[in-house]
Structure 1
Amino acid sequence: MSEHPSSLSQQSCEACRWDAPHASESEMASWQKQLPEWQIVERDGIMQLERSYRFRNFKQALAFTNSVGEIAEEAGHHPALLTEWGKVTVTWWSHEMKGLHKNDFILAARTDEVAS
């Protein structure tokens, strides 16, 4: 089943528990096709989804950080946000289950929408 690129951001996040199933390799590959700018990185044995965004100045970067914070609060799911002059790095992962869940990909897609 092929999904339109915007459809991932339209999906609902599920309640995520520590014992929720991690995203499978095939699921991650499928969802990542819709998020070509995002990279899967591993830190301390935990898979994470990460992307950096560029801005003209700190004020724009901070405004973007605050917008991402709003979608995070709305979803009850929070990324790591590194705000620098002209750049914001966003890292999503499911803290409770120490890995990647579909919610992380949904929120990465929503983050891209905030940036555009």
Structure 2
Amino acid sequence: MAHQKVDEAEARELLTQIPDWSLIEVEGIQQLQRQYKFKNFVAAMDFANQLADIAEAEGHHPGILVEWGKATVTWWSHSIKGLHRNDFVMAAKTDALLDK
């Protein structure tokens, strides 16, 4: 069964469960994005490495931009050029890393 993009109404509803995330559009593709703040580069990189482990285990990989004191994470499904329900699940799993 092929993955289906979420429609606008479903995306808005799912977004209420991950309120720190934003819907953005890049080159016509809807994506989820959030910036996380950290005390320094090493802490941001540690977070990115933990996220990489989760992404690899799920076989679904985000965009991660690590800078001094912050990491910007972007989720979307390349295969459907948009957002799938799984992207929202992965965003929630990304948030859960902060609770560890």
Q: TM-score, normalised by structure 2?
A: 0.95
- One-letter code of the match for 2:19? P
Gaps of 5+ in 1: 1-16
Residue 75 in 1 paired to residue 58 in 2?
yes
3-state DSSP of counterpart to 1:34: coil
Rounded Cα–Cα distance in structure 2 between residues aligned with 1:71 and 1:40: 22
Structure 1 distance, partners of 2:36, 2:98, is 8
> Identity percentage over the alignment?
48
Could you tell which deviates more after superposition, 58-67 or 24-33? 24-33
For 2:80 and 2:8, the matched residues in 1 are separated by: 16
SS at match of 1:96: helix
- 2:14 corresponds to: 31
**Aligned to 1:56, what secondary structure does the other structure show?**
coil
Which of 69, 72, 75 in structure 2 is aligned with 1:86? 69
Count residues with an aligned counterpart. Answer: 99
Question: Structure 1: which 4+ aligned runs deviate by more than 4 Å?
Answer: none
1:27-47 CA-to-partner distances (Å, cap 9, x unmatched) read: 111110011110000000000
Q: Deviations over 1:59-96 (max 9, x none)?
A: 10000000110110011000000000100000000011
Q: What RMSD in Å do the two structures reach over aligned CA positions?
A: 1.1
Report the more deviating stretch, 20-29 or 43-52: 20-29
Cα distance in structure 2, aligned partners of 1:97 and 1:23: 10
Structure having the larger proportion of residues in helix: 2
Gaps of 5+ in 2: none
Matches of 2:10 and 2:51, distance apart in 1: 24
CA shift for structure 1 position 97: 0.7
